Structure formats: structure tokens, C-alpha cells
Amino acid sequence: MQCFALLLRAMFFCTILPSAALAGAWLRAEGAGFLSFSVTLDDLQDWGTPDGFGAFYGEYGLSPDLTLGLDLGTDENGKAKAFGFVVLPISREALLINLELGAGVNADDPALRPGVSLGRAVTVAGLGGWFSVDARAIVTEDRGAVFASDTTLGLITGKRMKMFMQLQQGGPLSDPDWLRVATSVVWQVAPAQHLELGTTTGIFGADSFGIKLGLWHDF
């Protein structure tokens, strides 16, 4: 019953939110914003009630060189997070590089969250798309620095549809603590609104299988 209640709450928030992908290496245009809400149900390979967690994410372009953001939610272990952050450009060449500086709370502990994002436009099998790497560290007094990164390949497969695959990992790049593959398909369902349906598959150190439902809104 908990998973159904969580899903109903997610659908409710999806209807009231005024939302494309997280900016990463791409800054928001001045005066442009983005909101997303998602819920992920995992442990679906086991009998019984699956676990679930949600996330709310927002960005706003304050100027051509400054994007403000908010990242709220819980993880699969039920630990809450709340971060505000700024994104600043380092390079605007063919390879885009941005610096992220964030601060907030992670699992009730005050935390800093520095990060860096790299990205560039790509063409795969005649389809336009993007490739990006987003790396962050959550730094707390008790646990020190905990690293995580997302490597994403996305493709625009039609006027109203895009899809992407993401390799998610936690811990050092050379010896990760956990590794997960996430795939999503995103449809434009209305002007400035997109619906995301995805799956997550744990390779090791993460839940084996999950389903993600999300709504994006641009403004």
C-alpha cells in the first residue's frame, strides 16, 4: 500500500507542477526555468511491497552566466536531502564545462556539494543528441566526501520524443561502491511539458530493478 500511496502523491504533484533534462553542462537561458518531479519504485524483483522514493528538482537562469537550482528528495534508503546550488560556466567551447557549488542538508547533516559537469552535442546513427558526465561530492563533517557520478547518452528520436541511457555510480571512479544503469523515454505531452518513463537496473551494490515516472516542465 505504501508504494501505491507514493505513486498517487507523485501523480498529484505532477498535475500541479507548472517542466527537459537537467541542465548539467548546459546553463539555463536568462529568465528560463525548469522543474521536475519524479518517483522511483525499486526492489520490484522481490515479492511483497516495493520501496519507493521521490525527487523534486528545479533550475532558473538568473543570467547567461549563472543558473540557480534546488534539489530535494529522498534516496532508496529513505535518507532525505535538500540542496540549493549555483552553476557557473568554465568553458563554452565544443566541450562544455560547468562548475556547480551547492550547500544544504543530507540525512540531517549539514553538507556541501561541489560538482563539475562536462557535455557536448553528438550525432549517433543520424540522430542528434548529447553526451555528458556529471560528477559531485557530498561533503559532511562526519563522513567526509562521498562521490557520485552520472554518465549520460541522450538521443532526440522525434519531434516529441527523446531517450537516454545513464550509467550511475557512487564512490571512486576506479572502484565504485555501487553501479546502476538507468534508461528513460521522454514524450512531450503538452507545450513545455514532458512525461518520463524509465527503468533502473542495478549492476552491483544497488537494487536490482526499478521503475521511474516523472514530469518535466519548462517555463
Q: Give the span between the Cα atoms of 39 and 20, in whole angstroms.
A: 16
Instruction: Quote the distance between the C-alpha of residue 101 and its chain's center.
Output: 16
Q: Angle at Cα 72 formed by Cα 44 and Cα 1, nearest 5°?
A: 35
Residue 155 pLDDT greater than 90, yes or no: yes
Cell numbers describing residue 10: 507523485
Place 3 in a pLDDT band, splitting at 50, 70 and 90.
very low
Place 39 in a pLDDT band, splitting at 50, 70 and 90.
very high
Cell numbers describing residue 192: 513545455
Domains of the chain, each with CATH number or no CATH = 2-218 (2.40.160.40)
Place 83 in a pLDDT band, splitting at 50, 70 and 90.
very high
Cell numbers describing residue 179: 553501479
Share of the chain above pLDDT 70, in %: 83
Q: Give the span between the Cα atoms of 144 and 141, in whole angstroms.
A: 6
pTM: 0.82
Write down the H helix ranges in the chain.
Answer: 2-16
Greater confidence (112 vs 5) lies with: 112
Place 21 in a pLDDT band, splitting at 50, 70 and 90.
low
In tens, the pLDDT along 119-131 reads 999 999 999 999 9
> Of 54, 50, 31, whose CA–CA distance to 42 is shortest?
50
Q: Output the pLDDT for position 74.
A: 86
Q: Give the span between the Cα atoms of 88 and 101, in whole angstroms.
A: 8
Positive or negative CA dihedral for 79, 196, 119, 88? negative
For residues 45-72, give the mean pLDDT. 85
Place 6 in a pLDDT band, splitting at 50, 70 and 90.
very low
Greater confidence (7 vs 131) lies with: 131
Q: Output the pLDDT for position 195.
A: 97
Q: Give the span between the Cα atoms of 146 and 157, in whole angstroms.
A: 35
Cell numbers describing residue 50: 516495493
8 A C-beta contact, residue 8 and residue 190: no
For residues 75-101, give the mean pLDDT. 91
In tens, the pLDDT along 170-181 reads 877 677 888 999
